[in-house]
Structure 1
Amino acid sequence: MRREHGDPRPGWEKTIEGQGLAYHRAAHPEGLSRPYWDESVHYVLSLEEVESLEEQVEELHAMCLHAVEHVVSTGRYADFAVPEWARDEVARSWERRDPHLYGRFDLRYDGTGPARLLEYNADTPTSLLESSVIQWFWLQDTHPGDDQWNSIHERLIERWRELRLPPGPTHFAFTNADETGEEAMTVAYLQETAEQAGRTTVAVAMEDIGWDDLNRRFVDAGNQMIRSAFKLYPWEWMLADDFGRHAVRHSTWIEPLWKTLLSNKALLAVLWELYPGHPNLLPAYLDGPRELTSYIAKPLLGREGASMRIVTPEGTQETPGRYGREGYVFQGFEALPAFEGQRPVLGAWMVADEAAGLGIRETTGLITDDTSSFVPHRIAG
């Protein structure tokens, strides 16, 4: 694994905007010295590295499913801050094996040893369009003889064909609170993959979904019944909403309710309990850092690197945020590897239960947040 430089394509901004990355300016804080999509650099991996990473993330995914089974069978919902009234419904969702679509592992990897799991974004992962479409066209334009770890688009279409959903259209729900357009475009892209798979779809804002109390069903703004819906809207927000008690019992949601356990960072501690010393895991605990002298405290339901605290013998570093009332997990801290002063996080994509591709974000800091840039990759031919 190495970092290389190259000249950006002339007019690259219009190119990526035409391919759907219309939010690349709005999604990045102002005043930064580099763009969100940065094709002046890229990472090069060997085929052997990619094949090894594929095996590792599929093993991690299988371990995560085992962890869900463990939580459900032992009733450890309090560790995940799941409301008491929703716990039986989480169990039923898992026991039914409600259908799931995709997820993204965030990994520490430097090319010299096993990848280390940082977290699993299994409910509402973004940076999908960049990973699936934008970097693929970059590869075709700049390195047409090389390959890329990227079968995301094809796998998504195949997965939509496999899913057994209720009859009628599938609704695709975004939130009007999305100020950058990133979530709306991610939902629109997934809606397009479903349509390519032959499904009938309807776009809807989460704020426009209503509850028909008389007929006991969810409806859209046109009063059409919602039988199945993809939502880029976290389950913890749904459970905190007034209609949450209906949501857990009515309609088929993608991602399913059982994924609220995978998208919660308490998962990291449960994995360490079930697989202590596993080479792809970092030590993690729910009751404090224990023997760890270097650790990072992560809020169970935090997002975008907010409300985190890194503690090392050299000092403490914190990020601002409003998360943490739900509790923290304490994970062993290993600084992200540095490549020319930049620190990459590998986002390994799962579609259904198979590894499907890679997206890389990098920043100069120790925590990857909304100031990071997305950079493409290739497999050397």
Structure 2
Amino acid sequence: MRRERGVPRAGWEKTIEGQGLAYHRAAHPQGLSRPYWDESVHYVFSMAEVESLEEQVEELHAMCLRAAAHVVETGRFADFAIPGWAAEEVARSWERRDAHLYARFDLRYDGTGPAKLLEYNADTPTSLLESSVIQWFWLQDTHPGDDQWNSIHERLIDRWRALPLPPGPTHFAWTNMDETGEEAMTLAYLQETAEQAGLRTVAVAMEDIGWDELNRRFVDMDEQMIRSIFKLYPWEWMLGEPFGRHAVRHSTWIEPLWKALLSNKALLAVLWELYPGHPNLLPAYLDGPRDLESYIAKPLLGREGASMRVVTPALTQETPGSYGQEGYVFQGFEALPEFDGQRPVLGAWVIADEAAGLGIRETTGLITDDTSSFVPHRIELT
């Protein structure tokens, strides 16, 4: 694994916008000089590295599924801040093995040892379009003789074909709270893959979904029944809203309700309990940092690196945010590796239950937040 510099393609902004990355200008907070999509640099991997990472990702995913089973079997829903009224429905969703689509591991990896799990974005992961389409076309334009860890697009289409969905169109829901357009474009891309798989689809805003009390069903703006629906809207938000009590019992949701366990950072502590000392895990606890000299406190339901606190013998660093009311997990802290002053985090994609691709975000800080930039990668074949 190494970081290389290159010359951006002429007119790269219009190129990526034409390929769907319309939100790249708005993806960063204002005032940053570095663009969100940065093709002036990229990472290079060997095929052996990627094959090893694929194996590690699939093992981690299997471990996470076993951790979900453990939570359901032992009834540890309170550790995950699951409301008491919803716990039985989460368990039923798991026991039914409600079908799932995709997820993203965030990993620490420096090319010299096993990858370390930082968190699992298993409910509403983004940076998908960048990982799937945008960096693939970058590779074809700049290094056509090389390869890329990237079968995301094909696997998504195959997975849509395999999902046991009820008859009728599948709805795709975004939220009007999306200010950058990232969620809307991610949703549009996923909707396109579903259509390529032969599904009929309908787009709808979460805020426009109605509840038909008489017929006990969700409906869209045209009063059409919603039988199956993909959402980029977290389950923890849904469970905190009035219609959440209907949502857990009606319609086929993608991602399914049991994904609320895998997208919760309490999962990190359960994994460490079940697999203490595993080479792909960092120590993690729910009741405090215990004997950890260096640790990071992560809110169970935090997003975009907000409301985190890094504590080491040399420093304490916090990020702003309003998360944390539901509690924290305390995870052993290992700083991300440094390449030319930048710290990459590897986003390893899982489609269904198989490793599918890689996206990389960089930042200069210890915590990867909304100021990070996405950079492409390639597998060197020559």
CA positional deviation for 1:29? 1.2
Structure 1 counterpart SS, 2:238: helix
User: Which residue does the alignment assign to 1:359?
Assistant: 359
Quote the Cα distance in structure 2 between the aligned partners of 1:349 and 1:51. 14
Confirm or deny that 1:261 pairs with 2:261.
yes
Deviations 1:84-122 (A, max 9, x none): 000000000000000100000000000000000000000
Count of matched residue positions in the alignment of Structure 1 and Structure 2 = 381
CA positional deviation for 1:32? 1.1
Quote the Cα distance in structure 2 between the aligned partners of 1:206 and 1:136. 31
Runs of 4+ displaced beyond 2 Å: none
CA positional deviation for 1:376? 0.1
Quote the Cα distance in structure 1 between the aligned partners of 2:88 and 2:126. 29
CA positional deviation for 1:160? 0.2
Task: Quote the RMSD (CA, aligned, Å).
Answer: 0.3
User: Which residue does the alignment assign to 2:282?
Assistant: 282
Confirm or deny that 1:335 pairs with 2:335.
yes
Quote the Cα distance in structure 1 between the aligned partners of 2:308 and 2:54. 29
User: Which residue does the alignment assign to 2:244?
Assistant: 244
Give the 5 Å matches for 1:112-191: 112-191=112-191
User: Which residue does the alignment assign to 2:215?
Assistant: 215
User: Which residue does the alignment assign to 1:88?
Assistant: 88
Quote the Cα distance in structure 1 between the aligned partners of 2:63 and 2:315. 33
Confirm or deny that 1:303 pairs with 2:303.
yes
User: Which residue does the alignment assign to 1:71?
Assistant: 71
Quote the Cα distance in structure 2 between the aligned partners of 1:55 and 1:140. 26
CA positional deviation for 1:187? 0.4
Letter of the aligned partner of 1:18 in structure 2?
G
CA positional deviation for 1:8? 0.1
Letter of the aligned partner of 1:207 in structure 2?
E
Quote the Cα distance in structure 2 between the aligned partners of 1:97 and 1:231. 18
Quote the Cα distance in structure 2 between the aligned partners of 1:57 and 1:146. 22
Give the 5 Å matches for 1:89-104: 89-104=89-104
CA positional deviation for 1:33? 1.9
User: Which residue does the alignment assign to 2:271?
Assistant: 271
CA positional deviation for 1:161? 0.3
Deviations 1:207-231 (A, max 9, x none): 0000000000000011000000000
CA positional deviation for 1:317? 0.3
Structure 2 counterpart SS, 1:173: strand
Give the 5 Å matches for 1:317-332: 317-332=317-332
**Identity within the alignment, %:** 87
Structure-1-length-normalised TM-score: 1.00
CA positional deviation for 1:30? 1.5
Structure-2-length-normalised TM-score: 1.00
Letter of the aligned partner of 2:226 in structure 1?
I
Structure 2 counterpart SS, 1:261: helix
Quote the Cα distance in structure 2 between the aligned partners of 1:180 and 1:241. 24
User: Which residue does the alignment assign to 2:231?
Assistant: 231
Quote the Cα distance in structure 2 between the aligned partners of 1:67 and 1:105. 15
CA positional deviation for 1:25? 0.4
Quote the Cα distance in structure 1 between the aligned partners of 2:72 and 2:361. 33
Structure 2 counterpart SS, 1:70: helix
Unaligned runs of 5+ in 1: none
CA positional deviation for 1:267? 0.1
User: Which residue does the alignment assign to 1:13?
Assistant: 13
Letter of the aligned partner of 1:112 in structure 2?
T
Structure 1 counterpart SS, 2:262: coil
Quote the Cα distance in structure 1 between the aligned partners of 2:338 and 2:177. 35
Unaligned runs of 5+ in 2: none
Q: Relative to structure 2, which stretch is displaced further, 24-33 or 344-353?
A: 24-33
Confirm or deny that 1:197 pairs with 2:197.
yes
Q: Relative to structure 2, which stretch is displaced further, 248-257 or 28-37?
A: 28-37
Quote the Cα distance in structure 2 between the aligned partners of 1:29 and 1:5. 25
Letter of the aligned partner of 1:128 in structure 2?
L
CA positional deviation for 1:31? 1.3
Deviations 1:190-212 (A, max 9, x none): 00000000000000000000000
CA positional deviation for 1:375? 0.1
Structure 1 counterpart SS, 2:258: helix
CA positional deviation for 1:287? 0.1
Structure 1 counterpart SS, 2:172: strand
Letter of the aligned partner of 1:101 in structure 2?
L
